[in-house]
Structure 1
């Protein structure tokens, strides 16, 4: 096959002929391999060096789909996206190749791509690679340390435009403007930590530390030390240096207490004392330390039931619940599912090489699922689907269906969709109950006011409440 630059069918379509007379000899001599593909990612030209590396004759390789010959190649992606990748490492058999890929355009349209093997032996690059890895490790460690002390999210990261999401954002802005304790209630995976960081970021404490602690993840015997710190020699193995607790680390900023419902009763009393006096006493110390900390707490547990059975102190609850924000589960704001998927897919793509969109049929499958794991489960589902898709086009309904729980065992998406449909009476009853509970909360338990908010008479409200009880 000739290298005619003027032919749209040639291996170097879009490249002027006068450049090829200089380019081709360089490609033959200066690289460990060079290859060209057309808009269908089929090989249109390959030099002798690359052919020897593959172990076949050039004339037998031309015309074949490049992924048949080099399975790990990302040339199809270069053709599809038109984005160059000047330096990449590609696995080929038992070798690691340093490669460069460039799109070829003609009249603004990508008509193919060129790739060069810059190194087929990484040994000469070992010192550089080692230094790069050390720098990457240092950078990752620095980012982790920084993330533990600063808020990464703002209110724009709490994605949603449904009435429920907008109400959460409104209350979050209210919380950000006040320096009072805030309690976030909601199921696991609804975005409570994002909201806590967003409140801090929008508050007057934004340039001060944000320190989070998940009480469910800390052993009970270590919680007091984790909160209030440890004096030198306080116990065997404590060491001879003062260890600061979360309150000291958050001084001047915000302390986020995640899963506050998992806090033991004994520690609840000590936390209440700190909140009221803004003083902590490290373990093994007789010295109190003044702290200035704004507390945001969150729980996925039924705090009302815990108050009733005595597993959560009512005085601590009232101290924490100066401003309450209920974060709705995903199933209560399915209007946000489309923009949530768009934001999550974009975020997932930033952390890797896969890029994907969602078809309307795929979105329909997601809308019929009940999302017990909420947004965290949605992200995991999209990541799995993207991995299966390998970045090749939009995610289909079948790809999404396959990664949903039971998707591989329950037949087609249509069958699953039918199984997920609930009786209309049941759906209406649940919606009515949710509306009544929301109105009662907004009215502070005042049933007359709740009836006015709902647009019904008190007698109708009482009748409905008797049916719910």
Structure 2
């Protein structure tokens, strides 16, 4: 009966025999690097007429560029190499030969190809795989970059201008930021804008919507999972959002929905800048800036014992409040134009406008869903409209009926030009106040030239001294 050792020895002998027959050349050297055997093809490749004359000679005398002695001394194979011999180049492989105890007693070398161009398909595939990997890494990096800047936060009224100015100041620091505001007011957009204007702009921006992740999975989502941490876990492990955001910004949306137990673990990660993946005893260190957001009243939650006070103070270093849409009517015209243009481009329909009556119809609604609700209403109205201008009638079809209490008595119907003019007046006054009347700094803050600022002050009748 043939034993496993017999089979292994037979396989080794057969493998050597097959390689020697199929390859362009084969050579064996002993522990001293002297040639002990060479197949019939090799001498012809080397221009050697007498095969017997090579036996017993140092390998370098027969093949000057051979690395067989290196394989003997290190015990490590050289799986693929190009060896030059005269004007020719050979693709070769070199393997150590060991006795039963494991001691290296020699080496064997094979010529796989007599022309390196035979490797072109292998090299081409390797280069393709590297290119695919680079492309995948680029797409992943792009996915971690921000899509929005401060110019994406549309609004020129005093409240919006002051918010963006405060956010720009926050972007220059690495402190935690807490963004408060109703749903749909652009909290994530503002967070992305802060990251894009910060020194961490080249790092990743990673967002986690805490309300959208089941409580049982949040810890793994934050801190990752060690390889084989539990039955069914990925054998390679999985990085959490803290690790993915290393060197960049981690945006925690709806932070008010986090359980008290996880709040304690999050607090430790923020204070110590280190954490343990689920199922691991190894501490990982990260450099992450935290921007948190919520539509809930965290101060009241702290008072009620529903949110940890120490975590609240850790997050609440810089506080920004996004105003609801009903408190910024002066921005309605700008927002409507911006959203209509975006929707038309996305839907592939001709560019539309909005009439004065349509704009005033928007102003008669209190917008509990804020800008997100406005975008939904405008998209529905655009898809149902036959004209190139959105009229009041188009919006009536998709909006709730006007509540009498929301229509102020003797409400003045404003044209688009007047709405924009009012917004510009307020933005200029806010900039002048912020810069203590310095028009050069105010123009820089507004993103316009000094000449343009003087022109607008005169054209809009702005009382610069009153600022």
TM-score bin (small chain): 0.5 to 0.7
Q: Does 1:226 align with 2:221?
A: yes
Q: Secondary structure at the match of 1:213?
A: strand
Q: Which structure would you say has the larger RCO, counting Cα contacts within 8 Å and 6 or more residues apart?
A: 2
1:252-273 deviation per Cα after TM superposition (whole angstroms, max 9, x unaligned): 0000000000011000000000
Rounded Cα–Cα distance in structure 1 between residues aligned with 2:347 and 2:170:
35
Match of 2:374 among 378, 383, 389: 378
1:73-117 deviation per Cα after TM superposition (whole angstroms, max 9, x unaligned): xxxxxxxxxxxxxxxxxxxxxxxxxxxxxxxxxxxxxxxxxxxxx
Q: Does 1:272 align with 2:267?
A: yes
Rounded Cα–Cα distance in structure 2 between residues aligned with 1:360 and 1:174:
36
Structure 2 unaligned runs (5+)? 1-135, 411-467
- Following superposition of structure 1 onto structure 2, how do residues 361-372 of structure 1 map, counting pairs within 5 Å? 361-372=357-368
1:409-464 deviation per Cα after TM superposition (whole angstroms, max 9, x unaligned): xxxxxxx364532589xxxxxxxxxxxxxxxxxxxxxxxxxxxxxxxxxxxxxxxx
Rounded Cα–Cα distance in structure 1 between residues aligned with 2:407 and 2:138:
45
Rounded Cα–Cα distance in structure 1 between residues aligned with 2:296 and 2:380:
28
RMSD value, Cα: 1.8
Q: Does 1:421 align with 2:407?
A: yes
Rounded Cα–Cα distance in structure 1 between residues aligned with 2:389 and 2:322:
31
Rounded Cα–Cα distance in structure 2 between residues aligned with 1:360 and 1:421:
17
Rounded Cα–Cα distance in structure 2 between residues aligned with 1:142 and 1:252:
17
- Whether the 8 Å CA contact 2:141–2:204 is kept in 1: the answer is no
Q: Secondary structure at the match of 1:257?
A: strand
- Whether the 8 Å CA contact 2:256–2:298 is kept in 1: the answer is yes
- Whether the 8 Å CA contact 1:210–1:256 is kept in 2: the answer is yes
When normalised by structure 1's length, the TM-score is 0.57
Rounded Cα–Cα distance in structure 1 between residues aligned with 2:384 and 2:403:
21
2:383 aligns with: 387
- 1:422–1:147 CA distance, 2 compared to 1 (3 A): farther
Q: Secondary structure at the match of 1:296?
A: strand
Paired residues, number: 274
1:110 aligns with: none
1:451 aligns with: none
- Whether the 8 Å CA contact 2:248–2:287 is kept in 1: the answer is yes
Displaced runs of 4+ in structure 1, greater than 4 A?
Answer: 141-147
- 1:190–1:339 CA distance, 2 compared to 1 (3 A): same
2:172 aligns with: 177
Q: Does 1:288 align with 2:274?
A: no
When normalised by structure 2's length, the TM-score is 0.57
C-alpha displacement of 1:321: 0.6
- Whether the 8 Å CA contact 1:148–1:212 is kept in 2: the answer is no
Rounded Cα–Cα distance in structure 2 between residues aligned with 1:324 and 1:191:
15
